[in-house]
Copies of this chain bind each other. A is one copy, B any other.
Amino acid sequence: MIRNSTSDIEDLIALMAKLPGLGPRSARRAVLHLIRKRALLLTPLADVMTEVAATARECLNCGNIGTREICPLCTDPERANGELCVVEDVADLWAMERALVFKGRYHVLGGTLSALDAVGPEDLRIPRLVDRVATEGVSEVILALNATIDGQTTAHYIADQLQGQVRLTSLAQGVPIGGELDYLDDGTISAALRARKEI
């Protein structure tokens, strides 16, 4: 529809408008900004996107996104095997890491159970979690799921699966009702983790 522009620029605007947080107008602004900052922004962005498109993959062990079969968080010898923090998605893992308070391992479910969307345990990384608890010497599973209905349903389901095998904790109250980890400031996450409670 932007008749003055070439097809490539139109395509770029249309693709940028598909990003969460950008609409058509902000996509147009972003594309003009990219073209103005070609050497500083557009070319480096094109290069790193090409690289990430070729190399990004989910860690076979924990579901984190990285570039190797097994991610650095799973292989880092400095981190404790005994504590396993279960999160819904990679954004939540990043939020936990920014809080700089957890030094164990992670397990990324890849979503939550949802009757409405027909997401069952086999659609998430729950069987793999049960496996890891049985084989990795895990002594505590911290269920750091969002305080949403689906998040809490998922936490209860996982607690049922692991009951008796391991210490089960969840983040302390402090995570607001209906709140999502990735929206919280680092201090709130730190405080909630430090005050975590038995389930």
Interface residues on A, range: 35 or more
Q: Which of A52-88 contact B (CB under 8 A)?
A: 52-53, 55-56, 64-67, 71-73
Residues of B with C-beta under 8 A to A183: 25
Complex contacts, A56 vs chain B, CB 8 Å: 8-9, 35, 38
Most buried by B among A19, A51, A182: A19
Q: Which residue of B lies closest to A25 (CB)?
A: B182
- CB of A49 within 8 Å of the partner chain: yes
A19-54 near B? 1/0 per residue, CB < 8 Å: 111100110111111110110011111111111110
The 13 sampled A-B contact pairs (Cβ below 8 Å) are A4-B71, A4-B72, A4-B93, A4-B97, A9-B56, A9-B67, A12-B45, A12-B49, A18-B41, A31-B52, A38-B53, A42-B52, A46-B46
Chain A interface (Cβ < 8 Å from any Cβ of B):
1-6, 8-9, 11-12, 15-16, 18-22, 25-26, 28-35, 37-38, 41-53, 55-56, 64-67, 71-73, 89-91, 93-94, 97-98, 106, 182-183
The 9 residue pairs across chains A and B that have the minimum distance between CB atoms = A46-B49, A21-B26, A46-B50, A19-B30, A6-B67, A43-B53, A42-B53, A15-B45, A4-B73
